[in-house]
Amino acid sequence: MKYHELLELYKKKELGEEQREMVERDLERHEAISEYLFEKEEADILQGSAEMAKGSERQSAGKGKNAEDDFTKRVNRAIRRAFLKMGAAVCAVTLIVVLLILFVLPNTVSNFYYDPGRIVSENNYGGTTNQMSLDLAVYTELALPGTYRDDVQVEDRGYGNYDITIYQSVSRSGESRHVAGRIEKNKLRLYDINLFNNPSANNFGWFQMNMDRKDTLTEQVEKGVGSFAYTPERKEQSAEYLEELDDNKLYLACVTLDKILSYDEFIRFTEKYSEQMLDIWCVPRTAEDSHMPIGRPANLGFYIQLGQSSMLEWDREKYPDLILWSFDDPSEWDEAEEKIKDGTFAAEHFAVMLDYMSEQDEFLGMMREQTGETYAEAADYIRENGLQIYGFACVANKETLLELNAEEEVFGIRTEDAG
């Protein structure tokens, strides 16, 4: 039997005791011999290397040369190659990590937060509309009469952080109020905290009153109906207050109507002052039980006069007539001026703005509001019930406001400086 066959039987544990002991003795002997030879060979190599090095030194000294031993050269070259390969690998990995940190990670993190600079559309002239410009255009028209903003410049700082500048496109006071700020992971910080102050709910006298009654606001106050603890000035008080205004200034006025008007009645009323009032913004009822649901501004409305527009573009198929007109198509002006006087068109225009805002939860969160659900409910109410106007805002001078205050349809007026 050949010895390798014997080893196979040993591995399979098929040998008798005598043969197994013989093989184990052989294996032990072979292991000792191998260890001895390895140590001897290693010592010989080291000794040979030392002698070669000494011979090289003697040769160099005798000949006056600095030539290196071939073996040393090969070893050094191998070491250098190994270090170069390792260095290249480390550099490549480091470069990849740095590039990921610089260019990929900031954008990846930003994807989890509101991006004010995201391009949502492009107009026919190559101009673009970013997310926050469109969001602010709709939001400020809905909730902030006299504070319309539709131009936001954005600088991306990465990781969900942005520097922003909000520009005022139209000023009635002659002074533009541009505001800078920062968005840090869906938190908005403005360097003028008063820019987006909502008008007080009781700027319009139907605050917490029963809108289903047929009585005028004056009659409800006299009867003690509803909660009128925070009423605005009535007609007589408003007249005294308005007389103190500057004759040469324009004012933003919040006008409370004494009776809730249909949209057609409201248009007929304001047309008497169409040449004297600017930026007319109407306030329709938007809820069944109260016009002031929790989770959004107390008063929502829209402009019935053109002028609040710019180069904005949007998804017109999804949100038709979201904005009445844009400079992208000047021919829209005349058509829009007529269409906004129609109650059916105006109601749908208002409802579409509410639809849009109901889907902007991240933006509303930055404005410290709840989700857009209440905006969706307001849109449903408008589509079911049409437009019932209980007040409006406008920009006008002292003389016009005094005339307006004397109208039978007006309960009272509050003012502040026009922006």
296 in Cβ contact with 374 (< 8 Å): yes
Phi-psi map region of 101: left, alpha, beta (phi>0 left; psi -120 to 50 alpha): alpha
Instruction: Check residue 87 and give its pLDDT.
Output: 74
Average pLDDT for the chain: 82
pLDDT for the residue 64: 45
Whole-Å CA distances, 96 to 99, 108, 110, 159: 5, 16, 20, 19
For the stretch 360-389, pLDDT in tens is: 999 999 988 877 899 999 999 999 999 999
Sign of CA dihedral 149, 178, 202, 132: positive
pLDDT value of position 310: 62
Distance in angstroms (rounded) separating the CA atoms of residues 32 and 38: 10
User: In this predicted structure, which of 123-137, 297-311, 344-358, 365-379 has the lowest mean pLDDT?
Assistant: 297-311
Q: What is the pLDDT of residue 103?
A: 58
Give 103 or 56, the one with higher predicted confidence. Answer: 103
Q: Which residue has 């909660």 as its token pair?
A: 227
Mean pLDDT on 291-311: 75
Statement: residue 65 has pLDDT above 50: no
Q: Which residue has the higher pLDDT, 379 or 330?
A: 379
Kindly report which listed range (96-110, 219-233, 296-310) carries the lowest average pLDDT score.
96-110
Phi-psi region of 268 (alpha: psi -120 to 50; beta: other; left: phi over 0): alpha
- At residue 106, the pLDDT reads 57
What percentage of residues in the chain have a pLDDT greater than 90?
44
At 285, the pLDDT band (50, 70, 90 cuts) reads very high
Q: How confident is the model at residue 117 (pLDDT cuts 50, 70, 90)?
A: very high
Look at residue 318 in the predicted model and tell me its pLDDT: 94
pLDDT digits (tens, 9 = 90+) for 249-274: 999 999 999 999 999 999 999 999 98
More confident residue, 78 or 148: 148
Band of pLDDT at residue 110, cut at 50, 70 and 90:
low
Output 165 or 205, whichever has higher pLDDT. 165
- Asked which of 149-153, 223-227, 234-238 is least confident by mean pLDDT, the reply is 223-227
Per the model's pLDDT, the better-predicted residue between 124 and 194 turns out to be: 194
Least confident of 49-53, 140-144, 405-409: 49-53
- pTM: predicted TM-score of the whole model, two decimal places: 0.73
Residue 401 has pLDDT above 90, yes or no: yes
Rounded mean pLDDT of 144-170?
A: 92
Q: 181 vs 128, 137, 167, 283, CA distance in Å? A: 21, 17, 11, 30
Q: What is the pLDDT of residue 366?
A: 92
Among the ranges 81-95, 98-112, 185-199, which has the highest mean pLDDT value? 185-199
Cβ atoms within 10 Å of 79's Cβ, excluding its own: 10
